[in-house]
Amino acid sequence: MPLVTHILQVETLWKRMGFDIERFVGYVNEGLLCSICRDVLEDPLQAPCEHAFCTTCIHGWLVHHSNCPEDRQALDASVLHPLYRYMKNDLNRLQLHCKNREHGCDMVCSLESIDRHERECEYGQISCSNAGCPVQVERRNLDSHLALCEYRSRECPNGCGYTVLSTEDTQHNCVAELRTELELLRSEMICRVEEAKHEMESRLDSQRRHMVQKESMLQNEIEELKSQMSRMMSDVRSLLAAERQHRQELEQAELEKRKLPSSKKKYD
């Protein structure tokens, strides 16, 4: 693969690396440019041959090469070192425009402090802070967007306890919301009552079965006792009959005994 094509590929891959030279105010020393992306060094590393590159650019290059892209001297990631102090100082002192210049920011400051400015730049694009809102606004316009944002929400002012999105504000109807909730609760309640009823019924069923068993056992015992009783009754009856018989015999004997002396007297 020809070197130029490869450099072009690397340039597309690492487009974001390096600071666009167009943003700088005044002369920028050639030595502060990255030999790979040709922009001003960002997070730089230096090779023993003194050529300097953005960290991302040179690491990307060394994946498929083992030399310096500028002079072809052998190069390995382990020998890369931080930029010489004097070069670092020159780099940090370079003045450049804020990246939001095209949106209206006219801030120019040193490379060393541009990051801090851009993190808070009023012209920087940020996402709306309301959950679900896809809108991106410049930081300085966030407040006016928030006042109109369709994703802003507030607690219902009528005290139903619902949080209402501003887009649903006009459709919000406390009574309807509460009625829906009430319906839900009611059907849940009915379900639970049904469950409790089923459980109670099955428990009663098993108790009933148990009682039926017990009743038939008792019935058997009663039958048994009845037959025992009737046997005893017939025994008693026959004992009584025997007793009566015995008494009659005794009376008979008594009578005969009383008769005897009179007949004896008669015979005397």
The C-alpha atoms of residue 1 and residue 193 are separated, in whole angstroms, by: 79
Give the count of residues interacting with Zn ion (CB under 5 A).
Answer: 27
Name residues whose C-beta falls within 8 Å of residue 92's C-beta, 6 or more positions apart in sequence.
Answer: 110, 111, 112
Closest C-alpha among 130, 182, 176 to residue 153: 130
Subset of 11-50 contacting Zn ion (CB under 5 A): 17-18, 34, 36-37, 49
Interaction of residue 54 with Zn ion, rule CB under 5 A: yes
Per the CB < 8 A criterion, the answer to whether 21 and 41 are in contact is no
* Stretch binding Zn ion (CB under 5 A), from 78-86, 88-96, 127-135, 197-205: 127-135
* Stretch binding Zn ion (CB under 5 A), from 65-73, 76-84, 195-203, 259-267: 65-73
CB of 151 to Zn ion, least distance (A): 5
* DSSP secondary structure code for residue 163 in this structure: E
Closest C-alpha among 221, 202, 224 to residue 213: 221
Q: CB-wise, 74 or 191, nearer to Zn ion? A: 74
Q: Which of 10, 51, 91, 114 binds Zn ion (CB under 5 A)?
A: 51
The C-alpha atoms of residue 58 and residue 79 are separated, in whole angstroms, by: 12
Written as one letter, the residue type at 181 is E
Interaction of residue 128 with Zn ion, rule CB under 5 A: yes
Interaction of residue 94 with Zn ion, rule CB under 5 A: no
Interaction of residue 158 with Zn ion, rule CB under 5 A: yes
C-alpha atoms less than 13 angstroms from C-alpha of 47 in its C-beta half-sphere: 26
Interaction of residue 149 with Zn ion, rule CB under 5 A: yes
DSSP code string of 217-233: HHHHHHHHHHHHHHHHH
* Stretch binding Zn ion (CB under 5 A), from 9-17, 84-92, 200-208, 237-245: 9-17
* Stretch binding Zn ion (CB under 5 A), from 63-71, 219-227, 236-244, 256-264: 63-71
Q: Is the dihedral of CA 126, 131, 133, 134 positive or negative?
A: positive
Rounded to 10 deg, the angle between the 55-62 and 3-13 helix axes is: 130
Q: CB-wise, 7 or 135, nearer to Zn ion? A: 135
Q: CB-wise, 154 or 216, nearer to Zn ion? A: 154
Subset of 222-251 contacting Zn ion (CB under 5 A): none
Residues near Zn ion, by CB under 5 A:
17-18, 34, 36-37, 49, 51, 54, 57, 68, 70-71, 98, 100, 105, 107, 121, 128, 130, 133, 135, 149, 151, 156, 158, 160, 174
